[in-house]
Structure 1
Amino acid sequence: MKIQFVPYEDGTKQIAVKGVTNLLALDFVKPKPIGQILPDWFKHLPAFKDRPLTPGEETAKACRPLHEYLHYGYMLPLWADYIFEKDKSGQNIVAISKTSYGEHPSGQTGYVLEDTDKFQGLAVKFINPWIIKTPPGYSCLFMAPFYNFEERF
């Protein structure tokens, strides 16, 4: 099975930041097999607790389904810097490029996301700079990496 990541707009975008024109180098944020970006806790975990090759002494590292969870798929690193703030109008999203994100207003989501103190009634979407080509019959599922316990959010 061959999956291709083709840069949208020939791999470069001209973006303005405070009057300066920059070039977004997509090589810097090129998708990688997720198995190349294992979480530190898993990298340092021994396969056995105390006695190697003793039944019942295995750690999560010996778990085949967990191994597959952490090794199969691709990581698309975030290609732009974002700042999410709540202002008087309900939200403010700042990105290097205003074409790096979009939104689905509540009318597009069946009003499942209501305007509250916590939510602004819209779903934010990140505009991917890659065209992902998969074999016929395959599709893509975008989600946070499994067992990468992100502390920032």
Structure 2
Amino acid sequence: MSNREEDTVKRCPPFVDAMTSGFLLPLVCDLKVENGAMTWDNDLPAGGALEFPRSPIGFHDESQVVGSPLFTPDRLLIKFVNLWTIEAPAGYSLFFTHPVNRFDLPFTTLTGMVDCDLFHDSWVHFPAHWHDTNFNGVLPRGTPVAQCFPVKRENWVAQTAAMTPDETARAQELSNKMAREPGLYRRQFRS
């Protein structure tokens, strides 16, 4: 145990960078949950000729997750409805996942990747596992339901190897330097 005052995660660049990278997609209206029933008041204008979901959530049948840890008999997966189409630059996909480090949310958004440079004329919706079956209350409009990270599509091959004596010495030197100089990563390595 060190006598030195430790920083909180709020001063940890990798933690902060993960939470602020990409962009968030929000819940489009308040979602009230009471004894497992979900209700909302979503005042969307009429869509004209375009058929558009008016609900902020949809559902996936339990049969879609049979044999997975997400399966619970007689329980549906929810799907957050996204109101925006998303176009990525050529050669980029979007990695959609649960909002980073948001353990307080009563659901977990499932992770997926969509080639949004090619698929951008329709909507990407976000399936989620509602894990807090005791939750009663309101998820307010604007609650993040998915975090999106651009990923450049390119082929590469991962390689692993034992560290050389020189690499081991450099790793030890850097580890010692980081212990002596708080904020070294932020000053010297963060881009």
Name the TM-score class by shorter chain. Answer: 0.3 to 0.5
Structure number with larger C-alpha Rg: 2
TM-score norm. by structure 2 comes to: 0.38
TM-score norm. by structure 1 comes to: 0.46
